[in-house]
Amino acid sequence: MLKVGLTGGIGAGKSAVSRLLVASGAVLIDADKIAREVVAPGTPGLAAVVEAFGRGILAPDGSLDRPALGALVFADPQQLAVLNSIVHPLVGARSAELERSAPPDAVVVHDVPLLTENGLAPLYDVVVVVDASPETQLDRLVRLRGMSEEDARARMAAQATREKRLEIADVVIDNDGPLEGLRERVEAVWADLVRRARA
């Protein structure tokens, strides 16, 4: 089994790359998706978050009110650390479980937005970074996701720098251009990952 860490800055196109890798045959483990699952209604994760932050972070239907929680934790690094201490171990355990259930010869791609920020590169055999210029990222966030330029710049600034991501990369996928070129680049990377898995 080859364990691949996939990351990239917001708006770099990591989701497009992960879809193309899955289409090629990769087993995908999506950290963001798991982070939502471990705090779903009725889970011990949600109970722990409510215990730490109070019932004010619940929506009327009993699910997690993400904007309310976000307003609490993103303004306060200590509160964010408390949330991470609850959620990260749960995400790690579920990711490990999913990885164990993959076939022994699989290329398992862990889609981890904060791989660089959380120092997770050593957990993977190969780290793939999807890279785009800050100008491209900003354009995609404003044009395709409807963010204000101010919000987009703030989100980008909250992440690791492009240089920090590139420092930990074993493989860089340049995604400054159109989707057609991306498909070809991902196919070449996939062939390389399959070779590594067999070796």
Q: Are residues 6 and 43 in the same domain?
A: no
Co-location of 113 and 185 in the same domain: yes
Burial of 198 (0-12, 13-18, 19+ CB in 10 A): exposed
Q: How confident is the model at residue 55 (pLDDT cuts 50, 70, 90)?
A: very high
**Same structural domain for residues 11 and 49?**
no
Do 140 and 72 lie in one domain? The reply is no
**pLDDT the model gives residue 89:** 94
Q: Does one domain contain both 22 and 119?
A: yes
My answer on whether 19 and 42 are in the same domain is: no
The model's pLDDT over 30-52, given as tens digits with 9 standing for 90+, comes to 999 999 999 999 999 999 999 99
Judge if 156 and 180 occupy the same domain. Answer: yes
Q: State residue 194's pLDDT score.
A: 97
* 116 and 75 belong to one structural domain: no
At 167 the pLDDT is 97
- How far, in Å, CA of 162 to CA of 159, rounded? 9
Residue 100 lies in a domain: no
- Centre a 10 Å sphere on the Cβ of residue 150 and count the other Cβ atoms it contains: 9
Is 67 domain-assigned?
yes
Q: What is the mean pLDDT of residues 65-91?
A: 89
Residue type, 151: D
CB 110 within 8 A of CB 116: no
Average pLDDT, integer, range 134-158: 90
The answer to whether position 18 is within a domain reads yes
What confidence category does residue 151 fall into, taking pLDDT thresholds of 50, 70 and 90?
Answer: confident
Q: Please report whether residue 99 resides in a domain.
A: no
Question: Using CA atoms, how far apart are residues 58 and 37, in angstroms rounded to an integer?
Answer: 15
Note down the domain range covering 49.
36-92
- Note the pLDDT of residue 168: 97
Average pLDDT, the chain: 94
Alpha-carbon distances, residue 85 vs 90, 140, 171, 184 (angstroms): 9, 32, 30, 39
Dist. CA 74–CA 103, nearest whole Å: 38
Query: Phi and psi (nearest 5°) for 28?
Result: -100, 130
Per-residue pLDDT tens for 118-131?
899 999 999 999 99
Determine how many CB atoms are found less than 10 A away from the CB of residue 121.
Answer: 19
Q: Provide the whole-model pTM.
A: 0.87
Do residues 49 and 130 both lie within one domain?
no
| Cα 31 from Cα 155, distance rounded (Å) | 18
Domains of the chain: total: 2
- Model confidence at 177, in pLDDT bands (50, 70, 90)? confident
